[in-house]
Amino acid sequence: MTEGAQAGALPTMPQLDALRAFAVFAVMYQHFTGGRWLDYFPTARLGVQLFFVLSGFLITAILLVARERIASGESRLFEVRQFYARRFLRIFPLYYGVVISSAIIGIPGFRGPLLWHLGYMTNIENAITGMFPGATAHLWTLSVEEQFYFFWPWVILFVPQRWLFSVLCAAAATGPLFRFALFISGASNMALYTLTPSSFDAFGFGALLALARQRQQIAGDNQLRRRLTRLGLIIGVPAVAITFWSISWPGHYYWVFAIGANLASSFLFIWLIDRSADGFHGPIGRVLTWPPILFAGKISYGLYVFHFIMFYSGLKRLLTWPIFRGLNHIMTWPGVTFLTLSAMTFSAASLSWFLYERPLLNLKRFFPYTRNRTQRTP
């Protein structure tokens, strides 16, 4: 799911696709199994944060390359147009296809707040109502991503170079400050979790890593990258352990997790993403380049979109089939439930990829990163 080998795109970083696979596995595992220990170590929370840091890194890296083209004479508006067109082809067809078809079929959670879903404002609706309705409990993250995509190009492409680092630091600091402000104001945990500014530290840290790697590539200055990754590892590991452990503390300590968990995981994930972008070696590298894992990363968007619908509606419909009616008691076993739902989700996402998403993605050739200058009037 990294941008391809087309001129002007990012270099191929296959292990980042593997990280996407593990992120969606973490979300699917929690939603499909629901063990009590997940109340104290919510793998879905980590998976979502990994997605957000990855998005901050990759989208900012794409836009920083666009800045280089602008410095060479390209139009800012051309770069903005190409960015949105390519994001549209990647995100909108599957999302709107699933949302609209689910509303027509009558899958719970889609019809009532349909306008919120269509406007990519599901997270705001969740914050207002304090609920994840029906099979749409995962759509808030896609709203957060799309709201980020909406304004981020204007930041990266239009902020002067001398201010860029400060702006990215401010964005990263906004996340925990926003969560703290919501917490002391008595806002709901739902609002604190789902509103887009609450995830700015994840996006901001990913963006800072992209800037640091660009500085090293262009100017040979690796100080920012070295400091970020060292801090990510030194701070991230103990901070993740403490903030997630705090869930089990007696008394009124939930604020430690509510405010600190996203920040802690963002620190850790900048180290992980940086290492994966260069490529792990040895056993870890072999796992992160195993073809089935890479394919899961390629279809991870479909896996994410379909998985909760399969959990909420797909399995119930499956058990109404005559061949499965006598197996209801077996389907309640966590391991069987997880394998069944995973197989259903992988099947749906694979079919979507080959028959729907990939053909539409081929249309990106009409929106290249670089123009053929020889065709332009001098």
The Cα 197–Cα 194 span in angstroms is 9
Whether residue 48 is predicted with pLDDT greater than 60 in this model: the reply is yes
Spatial contact of 283 and 14, defined as CB atoms under 8 Å apart: no
Q: Show me where the domains of the chain are located.
A: 14-371
Mean pLDDT on 30-45: 86
Distance from the Cα of residue 223 to its chain's centroid: 27
Spatial contact of 4 and 90, defined as CB atoms under 8 Å apart: no
- Lowest mean pLDDT of 4-8, 45-49, 69-73, name the range: 4-8
Structure tokens at 120: 């990519």
Q: CA separation (Å) from 332 to 49, 95, 167, 342?
A: 29, 30, 50, 14
DSSP string, 26-44: HHHHHHHH--GGGGTS-HH
The Cα 307–Cα 299 span in angstroms is 12
Mean pLDDT on 31-36: 83
The Cα 123–Cα 130 span in angstroms is 10
Structure tokens at 5: 């080998």
- Lowest mean pLDDT of 83-92, 195-204, 205-214, 367-376, name the range: 367-376
Mean pLDDT on 35-55: 91
- Of 318, 24, 71, 41, nearest in space to 214 by CA: 71
Residue 177, judged by CB atoms within 10 A of its CB (0-12, 13-18, 19+), counts as middle
- Interior CA angle at 295 toward 34 and 369, to 5°? 115
- Interior CA angle at 50 toward 45 and 54, to 5°? 150
The Cα 345–Cα 351 span in angstroms is 10
Whether residue 209 is predicted with pLDDT greater than 80 in this model: the reply is yes
The pLDDT value recorded for residue 378 is 40
Residue 272, judged by CB atoms within 10 A of its CB (0-12, 13-18, 19+), counts as buried
Give tens-digit pLDDT for 76-115. 999 999 999 999 999 999 999 999 999 999 898 999 999 9
Confidence tier at 328 by pLDDT (50, 70, 90) = low
Q: Among 38-42, 130-134, 362-366, which range has the highest average pLDDT?
A: 362-366
Mean pLDDT on 113-120: 97
pTM of the model: 0.92
- Of 2, 145, 78, nearest in space to 368 by CA: 78
The pLDDT value recorded for residue 134 is 86
Spatial contact of 323 and 335, defined as CB atoms under 8 Å apart: no
For residue 105, give the amino acid letter. Answer: I
